[in-house]
Amino acid sequence: MGEKNEKMTTLSVKPIPTRNWKNKNIDLVIERDKDRKNSQESVDKRIYYLWFNYLKLCLNLEEIKHTIEKKGRGGTILSKTRVKVSKTIYKKWDLQDLSNMNFKKWYKDPKHQKLFSEGGFNYSRGSQYHSLVKRYNVFIEYYNKMNSGYEDEKDLISSGRMTRKNKLCEDIVMKFQKKRYEQIERTKDEKMNYQTMVLNDINLCEKTILSVCQGEFPKSKSV
């Protein structure tokens, strides 16, 4: 993520909240999730919901003139790409209203529902919902806190061995997005530190952001 922006501001879009089950019976939760996956309409709608939210993020980034940097070895900047949503591709999406609408209200319009099946947009049915949500949330948490002078004074290591970026990445994994990281963790890689985990998610999120700008979600089946 490019940290030097023309405007030091925060994003207006919010992280996607973690779903809270009223009934905490884990067996029931698992059964409900299986039932949802048996419905293709339900599975597809979750992808549409994420696409909608990523598009709102893209519009927000375009508004603040955000630039995504592609870096090589050693952090060398290879290229810079300004986030810009294709108004031609999304001409039927009512972009002028989308930023102030939630998905339920926007999707209620029949013409919006048809966009995904008849609009020629490409998305991967193998997309991992929880991974995409985590990356979306991590991007917003990191961007907003880095650009608002984030500093947890009570926990900050005064010796200087931990930078503000280090501390923020640790807090994102352990405090702000802990449930999301635990939710999809398969194996624990002891060699991967918090900063690597967070920056890797941000990098993958940026790839999705650029693809969404051009009418694709996400970048590929590997995203």
Q: pLDDT of 23-72, one tens digit each? A: 555 455 445 555 555 667 777 888 889 999 999 999 999 999 999 998 88
Report yes or no on 54 lying in a domain.
yes
Report yes or no on 6 lying in a domain.
no
Report yes or no on 13 lying in a domain.
no
Predicted pLDDT at 159: 44
Name which of 12, 13, 59, 18 is nearest 176 in CA terms.
18
CA distance 113 to 89: 16
Predicted pLDDT at 185: 64
Q: For residue 200, give its domain range.
A: 26-217
Predicted pLDDT at 3: 44
Domain count within the chain: 1
Report yes or no on 21 lying in a domain.
no
Report yes or no on 107 lying in a domain.
yes
Report yes or no on 86 lying in a domain.
yes
Predicted pLDDT at 94: 93
Report yes or no on 15 lying in a domain.
no
Q: Residue 150: is its pLDDT beyond 90?
A: no
| Torsion 121-125-126-127 (CA) sign | positive
CB atoms within 10 A of CB 58: 24
Backbone angles phi, psi at 14, to 5 degrees: -110, 155
- Quickly state the pLDDT bin for 5 (edges 50, 70, 90): very low
Report yes or no on 114 lying in a domain.
yes
